Amino acid sequence: MSNRLTRLRCVVLALFAIQLGACSNDNTATPPPPIRPIKAVQVGSTKELTGRVFPGMAKATQEVNLSFRVAGTLKELPVKKGEDVQAGDIVASLDPRDYEVDLRDARSQLANAEASLRNAKQEYDRARRIQKADVGAISQSVLDQRSTAVDAGRAQVNSAKALVAAASDRKKYTVLRAPFDGVVVERYVENFEDVQAKQEIVRIVDTSRIEMEVSVPENLISYLPYVQNHRVTFDAFPDTTIPATVKEVSTEASSATRTYEVTLIMEPPAGVKLLPGMAGRTTGDLTLPDEKKVDQIVIPESAIFPSPDQTKTYVWVFDPESQTVSRKEVQKGQLSNQGISVTGGISPGEWVVTAGVHFLAEGQHVRLLEP
């Protein structure tokens, strides 16, 4: 009996020990570290600029939404969407009858004011003649009253002229004309509608010259002055190559894409009608001076960090397949406005981490933020 109790106690103690061990393991288990998000840039070399294609979107050099400066009822809307117009062409007009009435009223007020002024002048001139012939016949106060009446008449005439000019302008504002040669790309109203002042009527764009905006990476923008023979091809006209020139370059990179906006301008050849919104691409020929003919890579300064003894320089390279980072030693060159040039250690096309480099470890799993 005692042996059976002893064995039972041993079994109970063993089970209790196993349970304690399981609890101890649960309490000491550590969760996996979170996957750190990183920012990275895919590096390139100066050779990559030659023959490289940059996508872009066409936009008009001039574009305007036309509206009336007065309200009224549309009487004419002769233009249609897609129709060419010349500068000065009538694109819309309002019923002018109300404004013609206002103009006639203003002219009548002007005529009355001018008649009153003539009468005041006649009274003043008569009083001066009488006073000159007989000094005591008319007092100076009467003469002053006649002079004041003349001044008041002149003020009324000037006010009436201003009313006539305003009424004439309002009548002119009932006609809407094209400010430049272009194409009507949108009609916002229909004929015979009641429209308000500054309500958009039509949209006109100038297609005689077309612009294209392209985004150039920050590690390549410094070589833009050495690119010649800019050429643009639009998807709508794949067999037509259009020469272009650089119109302007933004002075600040986009905080989201780290690219600079470059605006090209071109004149469409005969028979090619380019419209805003058309997609295309541009390329050019890179001609570098001898002192710049070095196949170097430029990366942001924040991507580089030193070894503990300050004798070597490293970057973190991101592997898109394994989603990990690895440390690589690099040979850095000169510092420029675009970053630091790297003369060895990494190759064009590799992804280099650009932020938080002091918080990474070899082989660490990371997540690439949208570039």
The token pair that represents 258 in the structure block: 């780290």
Model pLDDT for residues 132-162, shown as the tens digit of each residue: 888 778 888 888 899 999 999 999 999 999 9
Most confident of 34-38, 74-78, 345-349: 74-78
User: Domains (ranges, CATH) in the chain?
Assistant: 40-45+295-368 (2.40.420.20), 47-60+207-292 (2.40.30.170), 97-172 (1.10.287)
Among 102-106, 236-240, 288-292, where is mean pLDDT lowest?
Answer: 288-292
pLDDT of 295: 55
Whole-number pLDDT of residue 343:
79
DSSP letters of 149-160?
HHHHHHHHHHHH
Cα angle 280, 282, 285; round to 5:
165
Are 350 and 44 contacting, i.e. CB atoms less than 8 angstroms apart? Answer: no
Tell me the per-residue pLDDT of 216-256, one tens digit each, with 9 for 90 and over: 988 778 788 888 899 999 999 999 999 999 999 998 888 88
- Check: CB of residue 45 under 8 Å from CB of residue 293: no
Q: Amino acid letter at 346?
A: I
pLDDT for res 38: 87
Task: Pick the range with the lowest mean pLDDT from 127-141, 309-323, 331-345.
Answer: 331-345
Helix (H, G, I), strand (E, B) or coil at 288: coil
Closest C-alpha among 331, 316, 328 to residue 365: 316
Contact 357, 315 (CB under 8 A): yes
User: pTM above the 0.85 mark?
Assistant: no
* Mean pLDDT (whole number) for 18-28: 50
Q: In the 8-state DSSP scheme, what is residue 322?
A: T
Close Cβ partners of 70 (under 8 Å, ≥ 6 residues apart): 94, 99, 170, 173, 174, 197
Question: How much is the pLDDT for 24?
Answer: 47
Distance between CA atoms of residues 84 and 182, nearest Å: 6
For residue 10, is pLDDT > 60? no
Element (H, E) at 9: helix 2-28
> Which letter, b or e, does each residue of 78-87 get, where b requires 16 or more Cβ atoms within 10 Å of its Cβ?
ebeeeeebee
Task: Write the CB contacts of 266 (distance below 8 Å, at least 6 apart in sequence).
Answer: 209, 210, 211, 212, 232, 242, 243, 244, 245
